[in-house]
Amino acid sequence: MLVDSYVLLIICVFILFFIIILFPKCLKVYQKRKEERLAVKSGIKEIDMMSGYEFEEYLKALFKRLGYKAVVTKKSGDYGADLVLKGGKRIVVQAKRYRKKNNVGINAVREVYGAKAYYEADEAWVVTNSYYTRQANELARKCKVKLLNRDKLQEFIVRVNK
């Protein structure tokens, strides 16, 4: 009888531990994954309405679905990279969420090129929901920086949502 009471007490303590400590953590992980799944379902029109930080988080979720380990860098002092991707290669990404009328200029290429050296990355990318200026395209070619414009971003979204 006394043994049964101890077993019952241990079971109750375990249940309380789960409810108080583990359940909120599990719920937080579930919510984050749910948010990532919903974010990836966003289309280009939703992206056009995002803030810069929301766009970075969106790209993190998108690249995770494409098989990369993605980390968003700190908001300031990031040395020109908004994300660091790890897959077969280490890739730094500069995220530029612009209004459709504005094109991404040469500074984004400069920043991510510097970030490539700082983060000791194999590749450097600039990803935008817009397009690039002629100067940005030219410098990117010379520096071997990959530019992913609005059309390429939409291709990634379609690939992930299939």
pLDDT tens per residue across all 162 residues of the chain: 556 777 777 777 777 666 666 666 655 655 565 555 555 566 888 899 999 999 999 999 889 888 999 999 987 778 889 999 998 899 999 999 987 678 999 999 999 999 999 999 999 999 999 999 999 999 999 999 999 999 999 888 888 777
Same domain, yes or no: 27 and 90: no
Residues 94 and 108: beta-carbon distance below 8 Å? yes
Q: Are residues 72 and 13 in the same domain?
A: no
DSSP states along 51-116: -HHHHHHHHHHHHHHTT-EEEEPPSSS-TT-SEEEESSSEEEEEEE---TTPEE-HHHHHHHHHHH
Domain residues for the domain of 16 are 1-40
Q: Residue 120 burial (CB < 10 Å; 0-12/13-18/19+)?
A: exposed
Cα-Cα end-to-end distance for the chain: 59
For residues 131 and 87, state if they share a domain.
yes
User: Which candidate, 52, 39, 48, places its Cα nearest to that of 83?
Assistant: 52
Q: Which residues sit opposite 77 in a β-bridge?
A: none
CB–CB of 84/90 below 8 Å? yes
Strand order in the sheet with 146-148: 69-72, 83-86, 90-96, 123-128, 146-148
Q: Are residues 34 and 99 in the same domain?
A: no
Number of domains in the chain: 2
Same domain flag for 133 and 70: yes
- Length in residues, the chain: 162
Same domain, 5 and 64: no
Q: Which helix (H) or strand (E) holds 146?
A: strand 146-148
Model pTM score: 0.74
